[in-house]
């Protein structure tokens, strides 16, 4: 399917693993299959977003940059905001061949100022650590796994939600098309955009339509918050959706 979708106009392909918004994680075998396609199209740049590398419940992160035959085509995007919980430090990194890296330096240098030296040194210390030897990282991943399981269990109690269990990141992307066409007598739900607005106004719960990510049958949940908030949000959603017939 990937090869069939590639045209002569295709210049770059972007994907993420672990994925935002679904939390899906590519295996090495799956990435090898993608690499076998990309090596047939050396004009295509593969942009691999790996910012959730360490929030990975399968325990193993695989990068598509590991395959020598396409290494020069791959641009890896990463940073410290997710895996090291350093969101406010605003440090991102890019790994690419020299031609692409030099072009990015020219562009970045004209659009943003440099990050402060404190943030750069803090990020350097984070990258120098062995993730397997970081108890804080292990604790964070454990907590996110518990929150994932909690939210999945709560969403499974809501009729019509089709929720897959993700292996990384901190998102759920349930299929909610069951509610399309339903109404509470005042509002009719046409699509995912309608449903997210309905839940925002009626349940005071903020979600994101899957249409923003290319899947208009779904809505995205983030479980990067406390258990109490996840439980209360799920309760409100379940109660609010019970009025749709």
Q: Would you write out the chain's pLDDT as a tens digit for each of its 245 residues?
A: 777 778 778 799 999 999 999 999 999 999 999 999 999 999 999 999 999 999 999 889 999 999 999 999 999 999 999 999 998 888 999 999 999 999 998 888 777 767 888 999 999 999 999 998 999 999 999 999 999 999 999 999 999 999 999 999 999 999 999 999 999 999 999 999 999 999 999 999 999 999 999 999 999 999 999 999 999 999 999 999 999 99
Say which residue the tokens 């069951």 belong to: 178
Give 168: exposed, middle or buried? Use CB within 10 Å, 0-12, 13-18, 19+: buried
Q: Which two tokens stand for residue 76?
A: 């890896």
Say which residue the tokens 């990463």 belong to: 78
Say which residue the tokens 């020299």 belong to: 98
Are 155 and 172 in contact by the 8 Å Cβ rule? The answer is yes
As beta bridge partners, residue 78 has: 93
Are 196 and 209 in contact by the 8 Å Cβ rule? The answer is yes
Return the CA Rg of the chain: 20
DSSP β-ladder status, 92-95 and 45-49: unpaired
* pTM for this model (two decimals): 0.83
């Amino acid at each position: 399917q990937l090869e069939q979708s590639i045209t002569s106009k295709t210049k770059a392909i972007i994907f993420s693993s672990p994925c935002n918004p679904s939390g899906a994680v590519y295996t090495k075998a799956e990435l090898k299959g993608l690499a076998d396609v990309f090596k047939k199209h050396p004009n295509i740049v593969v942009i691999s977003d790996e910012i959730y590398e360490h929030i990975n419940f399968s325990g193993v992160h695989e990068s598509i940059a590991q395959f020598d035959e396409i290494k020069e085509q791959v641009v890896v995007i990463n940073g410290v905001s997710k895996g090291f919980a350093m969101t406010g430090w605003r440090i991102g990194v890019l790994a690419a061949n020299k031609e692409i890296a030099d072009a990015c330096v020219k562009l970045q240098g004209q659009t943003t100022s440099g990050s402060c030296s404190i943030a750069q040194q803090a990020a350097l210390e984070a990258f120098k650590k062995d993730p397997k030897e970081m108890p804080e990282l292990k604790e964070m991943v454990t907590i996110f796994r518990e929150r994932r399981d909690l939210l999945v269990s709560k969403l499974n109690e809501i009729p019509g939600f089709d929720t897959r269990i993700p292996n990384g990141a901190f998102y759920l992307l349930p299929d909610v098309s069951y509610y399309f066409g339903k109404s509470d007598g005042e509002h009719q739900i046409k699509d995912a955009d309608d449903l997210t607005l309905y839940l925002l106004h009626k349940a005071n719960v903020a979600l994101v339509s899957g249409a923003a990510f290319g899947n208009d049958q779904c809505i995205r949940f983030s479980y990067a918050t406390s258990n109490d908030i996840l439980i209360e949000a799920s309760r409100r959603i379940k109660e609010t959706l019970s009025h749709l017939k």
